[in-house]
Structure 1
Amino acid sequence: MLSPIVAFPFLVSLSLDNLNKLEKICNGQPVAESFRKLRILKVKSCPMLKNLFSLHMQRGLLQLEEISIIDCEIMEVIVAEESGGEADEDEAIKLTQLRTLTLEYLPQFTSVSSKSNAASISQTRPEPLITDVRSNEIASNTGLRTPMTLFNKKIEFPNLEDLKLSSIEVEKIWQDQPGELSCWFVRLTSLIVEGCGNLKYLFTTSMVESLAQLKRLELGDCVAMEEIIIKNGLGEEENVRGVMLPKLQFLQLKGLPNLTRFCTGHLIQCCFLQQLWIEDCPALKTFISNSLSTDAVANNQFEETNSTLFDEKVAFSNIEELRILGMDNLNMIWHTELHSDSFCKLKVLWVKQGNKLLNIFPPNMLRRFQNLELLVVDSCASLEEVFDLRSLMNEKESHVVTAFKLKNMYVWNLQKLKKVWNTNPHGILSFQNLHLVNARDCPSLKSLFPASVALGLPQLKELELRGCGVEEIVAEEEQLGEAPKFVFPKTSSFILWELPKLKISTQEDTLQSGRY
C-alpha cells in the first residue's frame, strides 16, 4: 500500500476500514521520518491482514496513543519480527504514549508481538496472550517453544490505561507468575474482557497486586470461566486476603455460565466499589468461597452456609448500585452476618430471575438498607415476601424508629408473592419517602400495605396495581378497632387494573387521595 519512499511525517490519525485485499500496510521499510507523529491507528474488517507492521517500523511509532483492531479474520499479531532481521535483541521498544488498546473479533490472534515464523511453531501447548520476558529465556534453555507474547522485551506498553479484549480464542491472558510484567499494568484503569470462550480464570493473586489503579472491570460471555481470581499456581496454599482492587468502582460479571465464585479467601475489600452488576451467572452461589478443592467446586459441593452470595468475607462499604439478574440457583443474597459497613450506602437494588429466593431482605438485615431509594424485584418464581420483619419485631429496642429513604418500588411477575411486608412493623419502620409503588402480575398477593405503613405515606404520588390477586390494598388489623382512614395527600396517579378479588366497597370508606 505504501512504498519506502513515501513518508507521512505529520500524519496524526490513520483509519483502515473494509479493505478486503490489503495484506500489508507498508511494503518494505519506511523511511526514518515516516509516521513519527501518528497517534491513532484503527484497523477494521481487513480480512487478509496478518499483522500491522514489522518490528523495524514499530520503532517509528513511538507517539502512538491508541491502537484498535476489529474484525480481521487472519490477524495473528500486531508486530511481526521478520526472519533474519538485524534488530538489537536487547533493545526494548517502549510505547510510552500508548493509553488505549482494543482487540476485537480476531479468531486467529495469538499475541501482540512475535517472530514472523511463529505460525510454524507447535501449537500443542496453550500459551498466555501476555507473558513475562523471562518465560522466553526459560523456554530457550529448556527446548520448549518460545511463547508468543503481548508484552515482552521487544515491545512494552508501560502506561496502558484502557484494555479491551473481545472474541479472542486464548486460554490465558497473562503469565501465572507475572514477574516483571506486573509493573507494566500499574496505570491500567479499565479492563474489558468479553467473548473469550477458552478463559477459565482471569487473574492470579500476584497479578491482581499490580492493578492498584483499576477502576472498571467488565467480564462478559466467557463461557468457560470458573473463577475470576485464582491463587498462584505454584507455592503454598495461600488464599486471597486483605485489600484487593482498592480503586475499583464498577464491576460487571455477565454471561458466565460456569462461574462458581469470584475468588477464594477470607476477606475482599473494594473500598471504592460503587456499582456491581451480576447477570446470567447461574452457577454463582457465593461471591467469596472458603478453600475448596477444584473437584468440589466443579461438582457444586458447597456447604449450606456457602449458598449465600454475600457474607462476612465481603467488604463493600461504598457500593450504591447492585444488580442481580438471572441467578437461578441463588438461595440468599445476604447472610445475616455481614462486614460491619457493607451495603450501608446501597441506593439501587435490582433483582430479577432469582428463582430460588424466598425473600429479598432477610431478618436482622433491614436497617442496614435504610439508604435504599430504588427497589426492583422482577420474575423471582419462588419469592413469597420482600421484607422479612419477624425478627425485627422481636427486638428489645423495638421502639426505635428507622426511617427509610425508599422512593420507588416495583414488584413484577412474582407468582408466589403473598406479602411485600410479611408483618405489620407497627411504626418502628417508616417508609414516608415512598413516591411510587408499582405491582404487576402478582396473583398470590392479597394485600399491598400493612396498616402502619399505609398510615405514613405523605409523599406517595403514584400507585399502580395490575393483574394481582389483591383483595384489599391495606391489610386489615383486628386490633385496630374502628377502621382508620388512609390519606394519600399527594397522590396524582391511582391505577387499579385487572384486580378481580379487590373489595371495592371496603376500600371506598378507608382510602382518601388528594388528587386522582
Structure 2
Amino acid sequence: MFTDMVGFRSFEHLTLSQFPDLKEKLWNGQVPIDLFWNLKSLEVDNLSDMSSAIPSNVLSGFKNLEMLDVRSCESLEQVFDLEENRQEIMGLKKLKSLKIDNCNNLRYIFTPSMLLGLVQLQKIEVKNCALIEEIIKKEAQKDAVSDKIVIPQLNSVVLESLPNLARFYPGSDILECPPLETIIIKDCQKVHMKEFSVHLASLFTVKVVLPSLEAPSCFQNLTNLVIDGFDHLKYLFPFSMVKSLFKLKKLEISNCKFMERVIDEDEERSSRMLFPKLYELKLTDLPKLTTFCNSTANIVEMSSLFRLWIMNCPGVQTFISNSICGGMTSSSKENEEMSAKENYTRMRYLFDEKVRFPSLERLQISHADELVNIWDDQVSLDSFCKIKNVFVYFCKRLVSVFPSNMLGRHQKLEYLEVQNCDSVEEIFQVLEKRPREVEEIVDKEEAVPKLVFSNLAWLSLQMLPSLKSLYRKMHISEWPNLIKLNVHGCDDVEIFASEFSGIQGTHGESQQPLFLVYKV
C-alpha cells in the first residue's frame, strides 16, 4: 500500500476528490505522516460523509500547506477537527489562503484558539454557506486563551451569500488585523448595521484594532471595499469616517435597495472632503440613491479618481447634497431653509463647482431617470480636464451632455457614446454668455466658433429622438482623428452634415445640420 503512494511525496497540488481511496486511507491513519510534507495546495471537493475537512490526526502532515480550498461538502460541520488536541493546528502554520464554498452544514470557521497557529493566514473567503452565523466562534470563558485575537497577516476578507451571517466575531475580545486591505461583503442580509454608527466596524465588533500612525480608525489600511446586497442600509458610513479611509483605492456598492446616500453628515463637519487615493468608484443598482454624499463640505475632491460608474441608479440627481438628513440639527430654521433652497438648485446638476475630479478619464452613466444635466456651467477649470471616455445611456430626462464652457477642456476626449436618451436635444448646451473657451477658438475672419476634437476617434449617437444638433449656435466642427461615426435613430435630425459657406444663417434653426464642417 505504501509503495503505491510514494509518488505523492513530490506533489505540490492535490485535489482529494480525484483519489477517493486515498481519502479513506488518509482519514484512517494508514499513510506515513510525512507523505504530504511538500504539498502546498489542497482541494477538498464534493466529498460526502465527512465531518471535518482535515481531521486532527493528519494535520501535522501538512507542514507546508499554503492554500486550502473546501467546496460542496454538505456533511461538513467544521473545517478543522481540533476538539481533542488544539495544538495540532500548528501543523498549518504556513497556511495563507482558506476558501470555503457551498458547505451548508457549517456554522462557523474558526475558534480563537485555532487562530493561534494560523500565523501566515492572509486571505479568508467564505461563500454560499447557508447556516454560517459567524466566522470566528466565541469560546466558553474557561477555554479562552487570551483577551486579544490577532490575525497578523490577514489582508483580505470575502464574505458572499451567507444568509445567516450576523457577525465576523461575536465575542468581546479585541480583534487585531493590522494589514487588512480588502473587504468584500455580498448578500449577507443578517449582518447587523445600525443607522448613525460605523457600519463596517459593527460587523467585526467595536473592539477591532487596526493600528495607524496618522488616524485612529477601524479600517485605516483599507484599499478595496465592495458592498453588495444590503437592503436595510440607508447610507454606508458617516462623514467622520471619511478621513480614516485615506488609503481607499476602490469602492464598489451595488444592490442596496434602500440606500439613499453613501456618506452622511454627522457631528463632525469640514469644509473639504478628500479621498486622495480613490482610483475607482462604482455605484450600481441602487434604486433609492439620490446623492453620493450629504455634506456641508465646500469641496469634494478625489484627486486620483480615474474611473467612475453610475449605473441603474434611477433617482440619482447630484453627486453632493448639502441638505440636512437623519438626526442632524441645524443652527437655525432659517439656515436650514436656505440650505434646502440652494440644494434644490444644485440638484439640477450631477457635478457642480464643489466636485473636483482632476484625474478622471472614464465616466459611464446609465439609467439615471432623474438626471437633467451632468455638469454645471460653473464647474471648476481644474476638474474633468483629463476625461477621455464618456458613455451615457438611458437617461430619459437628460437635455444635453456637456455645457459649452467645457468645449476647450475636451481636447483629450477619445470616445463619446450617447444612447437611448429621449430628451437630449444637443450634445453641447448653449449658454447665455459665450464661454471663454469658445471665444479662444473663434476664427477671427469668420467670427464663427470652431470646435476642434483633436483626439476623438469614436462617436456614437443612437436612439436620441429629440437630438437636433451637436451645438445649436453657428459653429464649425473639425474631427481630424475620427475613425468611427455611428448615428442611428435620431429622427429629429433633418440634415446630417453641411459644408460651411461662410454666410451665417444659411440654414434656418429648423434645418440646422447635425455637423457643420468646412468640407463634408
User: Above 0.5 in TM-score?
Assistant: yes
* Cα deviation, residue 291, structure 1: 3.2
- Which of 441, 457, 465 aligns to 2:489? It is 441
* Cα deviation, residue 84, structure 1: 3.9
Find the counterpart in structure 1 of residue 263 from structure 2.
229
- 1:268 equivalent to 2:300? Answer yes
Letter in 2 for 1:108: N
* Cα deviation, residue 267, structure 1: 1.1
Letter in 1 for 2:287: P
- The whole-number CA distance in structure 1 between the counterparts of 2:472 and 2:501 is 12
- Which of 220, 237, 262 aligns to 1:186? It is 220
The answer (yes or no) to whether the contact 1:41–1:68 under 8 Å persists in 2 is: yes
- 1:257 equivalent to 2:313? Answer no
Higher mean alpha-carbon deviation, 48-57 vs 302-311, is at 302-311
Same amino acid, percent of matched pairs: 32
Find the counterpart in structure 2 of residue 247 from structure 1.
277
- The whole-number CA distance in structure 1 between the counterparts of 2:514 and 2:373 is 28
Change over 3 Å in CA distance of 1:475–1:269 after alignment to 2:
closer
Change over 3 Å in CA distance of 1:365–1:391 after alignment to 2:
farther
- The whole-number CA distance in structure 1 between the counterparts of 2:55 and 2:434 is 82
Find the counterpart in structure 1 of residue 176 from structure 2.
156
* Cα deviation, residue 48, structure 1: 0.8
- 1:73 equivalent to 2:122? Answer no
Change over 3 Å in CA distance of 1:171–1:268 after alignment to 2:
farther
The answer (yes or no) to whether the contact 1:4–1:31 under 8 Å persists in 2 is: no
What secondary structure does 1:41 align onto?
A: strand
* Cα deviation, residue 60, structure 1: 1.0
- 1:218 equivalent to 2:283? Answer no
The answer (yes or no) to whether the contact 1:158–1:183 under 8 Å persists in 2 is: no
- 1:425 equivalent to 2:479? Answer no
Gaps of 5+ in 2: 1-51, 194-198, 211-215, 328-335, 445-449, 503-509
- 1:45 equivalent to 2:102? Answer yes
Find the counterpart in structure 2 of residue 114 from structure 1.
170
Change over 3 Å in CA distance of 1:384–1:402 after alignment to 2:
closer
- Which of 3, 19, 24 aligns to 2:73? It is 19
TM-score normalised according to structure 1 size: 0.75
The answer (yes or no) to whether the contact 1:407–1:435 under 8 Å persists in 2 is: yes
* Cα deviation, residue 178, structure 1: 8.9
Change over 3 Å in CA distance of 1:390–1:175 after alignment to 2:
closer
What secondary structure does 1:191 align onto?
A: strand
- The whole-number CA distance in structure 1 between the counterparts of 2:403 and 2:498 is 18
Letter in 2 for 1:40: S
- 1:351 equivalent to 2:392? Answer yes
Change over 3 Å in CA distance of 1:178–1:343 after alignment to 2:
farther
- 1:375 equivalent to 2:416? Answer yes
Letter in 2 for 1:79: I
* Cα deviation, residue 348, structure 1: 0.4
- Which of 298, 312, 320 aligns to 2:353? It is 312
- The whole-number CA distance in structure 2 between the counterparts of 1:35 and 1:453 is 80
* Cα deviation, residue 228, structure 1: 0.7
- 1:409 equivalent to 2:459? Answer yes
Deviations 1:369-421 (A, max 9, x none): 22211100000011111123565768665337563222210001111112233
**Equivalenced residues, count:** 420
Change over 3 Å in CA distance of 1:156–1:82 after alignment to 2:
same
- The whole-number CA distance in structure 2 between the counterparts of 1:453 and 1:11 is 77
Change over 3 Å in CA distance of 1:318–1:309 after alignment to 2:
same
- The whole-number CA distance in structure 2 between the counterparts of 1:178 and 1:52 is 20
- The whole-number CA distance in structure 2 between the counterparts of 1:355 and 1:368 is 26
Change over 3 Å in CA distance of 1:453–1:218 after alignment to 2:
farther
- The whole-number CA distance in structure 1 between the counterparts of 2:200 and 2:514 is 59
- Which of 354, 368, 371 aligns to 1:330? It is 371
CA RMSD of aligned residues (A): 3.0
Matches within 5 A, 1:122-133: none
Change over 3 Å in CA distance of 1:313–1:241 after alignment to 2:
same
- Which of 428, 443, 466 aligns to 1:399? It is 443
Change over 3 Å in CA distance of 1:200–1:472 after alignment to 2:
closer
- The whole-number CA distance in structure 1 between the counterparts of 2:155 and 2:435 is 57
Change over 3 Å in CA distance of 1:30–1:293 after alignment to 2:
closer
- The whole-number CA distance in structure 2 between the counterparts of 1:178 and 1:447 is 67
Gaps of 5+ in 1: 116-135, 137-151, 455-469, 478-483, 488-516
Deviations 1:308-351 (A, max 9, x none): 10001101001000001010111110001012211111000000
The answer (yes or no) to whether the contact 1:280–1:326 under 8 Å persists in 2 is: yes
The answer (yes or no) to whether the contact 2:178–2:209 under 8 Å persists in 1 is: no
The answer (yes or no) to whether the contact 2:364–2:391 under 8 Å persists in 1 is: yes
Change over 3 Å in CA distance of 1:415–1:53 after alignment to 2:
same
Change over 3 Å in CA distance of 1:394–1:67 after alignment to 2:
closer
- The whole-number CA distance in structure 2 between the counterparts of 1:178 and 1:240 is 27
What secondary structure does 1:46 align onto?
A: coil
- The whole-number CA distance in structure 2 between the counterparts of 1:356 and 1:474 is 21
What secondary structure does 1:34 align onto?
A: helix
- The whole-number CA distance in structure 1 between the counterparts of 2:423 and 2:404 is 18
* Cα deviation, residue 111, structure 1: 1.1
* Cα deviation, residue 471, structure 1: 9.2
The answer (yes or no) to whether the contact 2:360–2:384 under 8 Å persists in 1 is: yes
The answer (yes or no) to whether the contact 1:171–1:198 under 8 Å persists in 2 is: no
Letter in 1 for 2:186: S
- The whole-number CA distance in structure 1 between the counterparts of 2:271 and 2:142 is 47
- The whole-number CA distance in structure 2 between the counterparts of 1:178 and 1:288 is 32
Change over 3 Å in CA distance of 1:69–1:175 after alignment to 2:
closer
Find the counterpart in structure 1 of residue 309 from structure 2.
277
- The whole-number CA distance in structure 1 between the counterparts of 2:443 and 2:496 is 24
- The whole-number CA distance in structure 1 between the counterparts of 2:516 and 2:235 is 54
